[in-house]
Amino acid sequence: MSSAFISALKSEIAELEAQLAADIRMVRIRELRKIMELYGDNPGTTAGDVPSQPKGVGGRKPSPEKEQALETIRRLLSGKIVPTPTRDILANLQSEGISYPGESPLNNLSAALSNASEFVSHGRSGWTLADVEVRRLINDLAEKMPLNEGLELVSLWQAKRGIPQEFDGTLLATARERLGRDLDERERAFLRESLIETLRQIYLVRVHEGSSP
């Protein structure tokens, strides 16, 4: 096989990879995969291995049975944007042979999820994971942000100057409203870093499409 043909193949592959890298759908896929990695769906971890997350200030440590149920729920909700009703979560636990204790398992399960800060309630619609809500917030903010403002944030971050205090305060307040609680330090760092990375990816997409900053 001639070297010219190999070079042509490499050139075409590089061009296709560049096009895919700039596709907004690929950007979103990468961000969703980051969420999956947080919940153990990557090499070197096991399902249910979750970064340390608070269970509620002053709350008691869940029993082994309840912790097993919570780990199963994390896997069930991992990456899901649409809330899952409490009744469906309970049915899923039962299908895996996990019985939730108490005279009213449904109410007890709802109370346990409310006391675990990693889950976000959507009323009767059900539950999502906090990291999924943070990621959705990031995408919402990034897509609505004017390009020049996004570029300024990326430039400041790359210059090790961080995010402007006023914007950071608004960002955390918006996240607090979305989650119904304050973010912990891990979530704050994840929020800032992921927002900058998403803005950078969107900038690359727009440059590829021929937009000018």
List, for residues 10-50, the tens digit of each pLDDT value: 777 766 666 665 555 666 666 666 555 554 444 433 333 33
Distance between CA 141 and CA 171 in Å, rounded? 9
- 80 near 32, Cβ under 8 Å? no
**What are the residues whose beta carbons fall under 8 Å from the beta carbon of 55, sequence distance 6 or more?**
61, 62, 115, 116, 117
Q: pLDDT of 70-79, one tens digit each?
A: 889 999 998 7
Q: Which two tokens stand for residue 210?
A: 């021929």
pLDDT band at 92 (very low <50, low <70, confident <90, very high): very high
CA distances from 112 to 16, 95, 108, 174, 183 (A): 48, 19, 6, 25, 19
- 45 near 39, Cβ under 8 Å? no
pLDDT at position 209: 63
pTM for this prediction: 0.54
Amino acid at 117: S
pLDDT band at 51 (very low <50, low <70, confident <90, very high): very low
Amino acid at 155: S
pLDDT band at 211 (very low <50, low <70, confident <90, very high): very low
CA distances from 18 to 4, 45, 79 (A): 21, 30, 26
Given a cut of 70, whether residue 191 has pLDDT beyond it is: yes
pLDDT at position 200: 86
